[in-house]
Amino acid sequence: MNHIKLLFFATVRERMGVKSLDLELPAEATIGDLKVNLSEKYPKIKDSLKSVLVTINREYAFDEAIIPSKAEIGVFPPVSGG
């Protein structure tokens, strides 16, 4: 099992009601696996997870990325600028 720390930002943080969360994931779990896990445990953010930006140790990551042990995962709502 991999121990990770999740950090939530902006509207995702508001929906979760917490700034961070410690979580155990199976070894070789991906960002996609994490999203499924969070959707099941926290249904209030399920819709948000479809469009969030995710970082692993402060670098953007896609659903296929494998999460290393002791990783810091950032979960951000999509942003737009002008």
Instruction: Write down the domain spans for the chain.
Output: 2-76
Pick the CATH number of 2-76 from 3.40.50.620, 3.40.630.180, 2.40.50.140, 3.10.20.30: 3.10.20.30
pLDDT at 82: 57
Q: What is the mean pLDDT of the chain?
A: 94
- The share of the chain scoring above pLDDT 70, in percent, equals 96
| Span 7-16, average pLDDT | 94
Nearest residue to 74 via CA among 19, 36, 26: 19
Better-scored residue on pLDDT, 78 or 6 = 6
Q: What is the DSSP letter of 30?
A: B
Q: What is the pLDDT of residue 81?
A: 62
Count other Cβ atoms within 10 Å, centred on residue 37.
Answer: 15
Please give the average per-residue pLDDT across 13-27, as a whole number.
Answer: 95
Can you tell me the mean pLDDT for 17-21? 96
